[in-house]
Amino acid sequence: MSSAPSTGTATGAGDPYGPPYAALPARPVDPASFTDERLYAHTRLPVGSASTLIPDAYTSPEFFALEQEKVLASSWVAVGCTADLDRSGACLVAEVAGRSVIVTRNRAGELRAFHNVCRHRAAALLAADAAHVGRGDRIRCPYHAWAYDLDGACLGTPLFAGSDIPAGQEPVFDTAPAHDFDRRDYGLLPVAVDSWGFLVFVCLEPDPAPLADHLGDLPQRFAAYELDRWRPERRRTYEVAANYKLVGENFMEYYHLPWVHPELSKVSRFSDHYRWQGTGMYTGMCTTPVSRNGDAGGWDGLHPVGSLTGPDAESGRFVWLFPTTALVVLPNHAFVLFTRPVGPARTVETAVLLCHPDSLAHPDREPGLDQLEKFWDLVNRQDLEIVERVQEGLRNPAYRGGRMCFRFEEPLHRFQNMIADRMVGLRRVPEGDADTALRMFPDPPTPD
């Protein structure tokens, strides 16, 4: 156990923020304390009394390095869409915890994932933008032409069909005389891979718990949407000068809407928001009913999925999938934000707009998609501007943490405690709310 975190003390006439603030850890925090449960004591309190994670969790290179291993490398991370892997040899290359991973489908249609590392001299096998593994459905190293099949087996080293060895020079490259060498021992290094709906997940742990444990009750809650049939229609990439957790925490709360999103506030009313959290590694909210478009746009624009009934037909579901992915599902489209942490103050976002076939089977699909893409881009850019300002403020050593606003920020409390769990080595899945559709903003009391 590392030494106890240091704490600040009031000076002069007293801490202007009061005793709870004075008790927060002083800055800078000793990096040796980042895995100490005591460092998170203020965040572990009930949400009505809790304070946020320490600022170092968003600014410290040492915290980020530990987080790569303890949070990102130990979790199921959404890395792309199943529709991008719709045939044998189709692939995507993802970065998880600073490591490059290839995800593809074998000839039997099964998902496979591997570290993007040749077993010979460690060259990266595929470029970051690769969409297919290569000629003949073989993953071929650009350095010395070692090749692998779609199940990761080593095929050649390098004498194999199509290796482009000049005629007459084959004996020079023959590895048969090599001592104690069996290419069956040199297949690609596997990575756990699975899917749910239109999302593909990988986990870097050698023997992870099932993806179903991570998702909890989400597959049941989204069953009516037939998410496995939805396909990507639009994509955008954003560079963000902020920690990925700030992106997620901003997504999880509606406290900021009136001041950051005046356009969104007109089509997503405060009074229509509910907490929507069951068991699983996620935070969730719901807005119901979905409001009609305003002058600046909104969530209309495409026809809804025809099979939806009841609350699903009139609600928007907002889920942050721990640790890095935003998922929004509405009756007529879905929006996914894949965040890739690059550094303590840098994140790359990939935003994807997806639709069910029902919503695409109408002649007005392109104008509808254009409107939705424009509206989501507006909302996202507003969010990025504000989280970058938060990142800037977190660098100020005078700030040691802030009090959570319990009514609005319970999802943040849930998420930040998931982070704290992983940092101190705990593995547990949050339980759901007793009421899984809890109104976030109760109506004001009626005067007597």
**CATH code, domain carrying 382:** 3.90.380.10
Please tell me whether residues 120 and 184 are part of one structural domain: yes
| 88-139 pLDDT, tens digit each | 999 999 999 999 999 999 999 999 999 999 999 999 999 999 999 998 899 9
| 300-336 pLDDT, tens digit each | 778 899 899 999 998 889 999 999 999 999 999 999 9
Structural domain including 322 reads: 228-439
Q: First and final CA of the chain: distance in angstroms? A: 57
Please tell me whether residues 286 and 433 are part of one structural domain: yes
Q: Which amino acid does the sequence have at 256?
A: H
Please tell me whether residues 151 and 232 are part of one structural domain: no
Please tell me whether residues 332 and 400 are part of one structural domain: yes
End residue of a domain, out of 170, 192, 214: 192
| Residue 426's pLDDT band (cuts 50, 70, 90) | very high
Please check the confidence at residue 5 and state whether its pLDDT lies above 80.
no
Amino acid 132: pLDDT = 96
Amino acid 296: pLDDT = 59
Task: Supply the DSSP symbol for 354.
Answer: E
Please tell me whether residues 95 and 177 are part of one structural domain: yes
Please tell me whether residues 177 and 232 are part of one structural domain: no
**Nearest by Cα to 175 from 161, 162, 156:** 156
Number of domains the chain is built from: 2
| Residue 345's pLDDT band (cuts 50, 70, 90) | very high
**Nearest by Cα to 416 from 240, 248, 202:** 248
Amino acid 403: pLDDT = 87
The answer to whether residue 335 sits within a structural domain is yes
User: Percent of the chain scored above 90 by pLDDT?
Assistant: 60
How far is residue 119 from each of residues 144, 146, 150, measured CA to CA in Å? 11, 8, 15
Q: What CATH number corresponds to the domain at position 144? A: 2.102.10.10
Please tell me whether residues 335 and 424 are part of one structural domain: yes
